[in-house]
Structure 1
Amino acid sequence: MAQWHADTIESNGIRIHYTRTGGDKPPVVLAHGFSDDGLCWTPVAEILQADYDVIMVDARGHGRSDAPDEGYTPAHMAADLAGVITGLGLHKPAVLGHSMGGSTAMALAGLYPELPGAILVEDSGARNYMEDNSAEAQERRRQWHDRMVKLKGMSREALLDYARTNMPTWPEAELGPWVDAKLRFNLKALNRGGATGMDWDQILRSITCPALLLTADPELGAMVTAERAAQMQALIPQLQVVHIPGAGHNIRREQFGPYMEAVRNFLAQVTQGARG
């Protein structure tokens, strides 16, 4: 990790921070979930860096990226990511996203189909979960606001103890980056209403690159059901689905070995195909 490069780049009118492993290798862009940041991908990047140039992006309002007052929809974040890809001169990168980052990856592939070489989605169902202005979504955002205020009010040591107690199955290597992301999180990123123009069915139909969806167990907290995965496959015929049992929403943090096997197999398949 000592040789990784951190920098910012102007994208979509704001400064986006990223960390990059580097090297003349196929690029892989990592898009984190809500309230995480780029370095939450550290265990994944440490594995992938031998074969890939890994770019871990902080979404707007997260990590060390700018936090505008508004614009936290998947379309805005896809435009941010598109600017990073073009600004860094990345040619057809694979884009791996978790949760919110999975929505960003799918929006990117549907709205800017010429940019990604492939997308990999960790438990994200391409639905307006927090972005609409319904009473349910507003209440969900209020609950998230209260939770984030509570977490940000803790010391780092207290937050580590909280993580160990509440995520007992997570490896210790996951906890420090998770804690630091919560402390860096900007509450403006909760301003997620207004995704009135997100036609997810049309966006998914517009995805032309190879695609992988990683699912887990809804009874353990995973969001994408087998029914939703089948609906997504109907809209994206080339979508591969790999179910990883024994995990909830944070698949990689709960079943790291099987997760990395699925990711590496798919990346090898699409990068070899691109070279061929």
Structure 2
Amino acid sequence: MTIPDDWKTDSVRSNGVSLQYYRTGEGPPLVMAHGFTDSGRCWEPLVEELAADYDVVTYDARAHGRSDAPETGYSPTDRVADLVGLLDALDIDDPILVGHSMGGSTVALTAAMHPDLPRAVVLEDPACMLDIPEKDPNVRVESVHKSVREWEQKGVETIADEYRAERPQLARRLAVARTECRPAIAEISRTGFGAAAEIFPDIAAPTLVLKADTDPETRAAHLDTADRLADGRLVHIPDAGHCIFRDQFDAGYAELRTFLRRI
């Protein structure tokens, strides 16, 4: 699938694997980590807005998109090593790190393990803050394997049709991303995403957390967790679900731009 004309793409060797990345814009570096079953190209609408002011880099996580899919290496610390290796390979210093869901947990843990690395951190409904039901790891893995098989059988056009009513602009991007997922992504569901309460106290960089809307009791719990950040702010976006920049782009983007102007 093609990418916008002003994007360039290439691959780098990071943590023993080849990671595909996409880059556009000029300014301070801003690096984005996508969610589970997405790809770096699924960030397109937000990248297009940010590229006027930032050197924006997105990448495909291992077993996603056009990156390698080794049999092992899917723990949270492996994903951190992948991201840090990407930054090293591209000679990126003092980046703003942005992550959604799985990528949000990757970014949060990267900032916690390497507190002097990021200039700032933005977490879009990070997986480490999700209330994921407990299941036997083997059951989770088989569920993901089943989804990957179904996506392969359906193909891009059928999957895109399923997304068009709700995500018309991104339907094909999301469909391609699903069909590019390799079975090895199931190992991510086996190892988990970590817990924000354990990660947040070690993040020193200014941090914005954008959360899906929810009930008052859960919002209060989220705010209590965010209080563990040394320099953090959590905002619940009204009427947004897990994919905030897809559900309520304008509201999410307004919060993001306000945060970026302050750092």
Q: TM-score, normalised by structure 1?
A: 0.86
What residue in structure 2 maps to residue 183 of structure 1? 179
What residue in structure 2 maps to residue 153 of structure 1? 153
What residue in structure 2 maps to residue 92 of structure 1? 94
Indicate whether 1:2 and 2:5 are aligned.
yes
Indicate whether 1:162 and 2:162 are aligned.
yes
SS of the equivalent of 1:84 reads helix
Residues of 2 paired with 1:260 and 1:200: CA distance?
23
CA RMSD, 1 decimal: 2.4
Moved more, 188-197 or 260-269: 188-197
Query: 1:193: how far off?
Result: 5.8
Change beyond 3 A, Cα 1:147–1:225: farther
Which 4+ residue blocks in structure 1 deviate beyond 6 angstroms?
A: none
What residue in structure 1 maps to residue 228 of structure 2? 235
Residues of 1 paired with 2:193 and 2:236: CA distance?
30
Paired residues for 1:1-276 under 5 Å: 1-23=4-26, 25-126=27-128, 135-164=135-164, 168-170=165-167, 172-192=168-188, 195=191, 201-218=197-214, 225-270=218-263
- Paired residues, what number? 259
Residues of 2 paired with 1:237 and 1:18: CA distance?
31
- List per-residue Cα deviations over 1:8-44 (Å, max 9, x = no partner): 1111111111000043x11111100000000000001
Residues of 2 paired with 1:216 and 1:127: CA distance?
11
Residues of 1 paired with 2:152 and 2:15: CA distance?
28
Change beyond 3 A, Cα 1:199–1:183: closer
Residues of 1 paired with 2:189 and 2:226: CA distance?
27
SS of the equivalent of 2:169 reads helix
Query: 1:142: how far off?
Result: 2.6
List gaps (5 residues or longer) in structure 2.
Answer: none
What residue in structure 2 maps to residue 274 of structure 1? none
Equivalent residue letter for 1:47: E
SS of the equivalent of 2:146 reads helix
> CA contact under 8 A between 2:161 and 2:171: conserved in structure 1?
no
Query: 1:73: how far off?
Result: 2.1
Moved more, 194-203 or 227-236: 194-203
> CA contact under 8 A between 1:125 and 1:229: conserved in structure 2?
no
> CA contact under 8 A between 1:28 and 1:52: conserved in structure 2?
yes
Residues of 2 paired with 1:246 and 1:199: CA distance?
25
> CA contact under 8 A between 1:82 and 1:112: conserved in structure 2?
no
Residues of 2 paired with 1:107 and 1:155: CA distance?
34
What is the identity percentage for the equivalent residue pairs of Structure 1 and Structure 2? 35
List gaps (5 residues or longer) in structure 1.
Answer: 271-276
- List per-residue Cα deviations over 1:179-220 (Å, max 9, x = no partner): 11111111111112664995754432111000010012247x
Query: 1:128: how far off?
Result: 8.8
Change beyond 3 A, Cα 1:90–1:42: same
Residues of 2 paired with 1:207 and 1:104: CA distance?
12
Residues of 2 paired with 1:29 and 1:176: CA distance?
23
> CA contact under 8 A between 2:105 and 2:128: conserved in structure 1?
yes
Q: TM-score, normalised by structure 2?
A: 0.90
Residues of 1 paired with 2:140 and 2:69: CA distance?
21
SS of the equivalent of 1:153 reads helix
Change beyond 3 A, Cα 1:240–1:199: closer
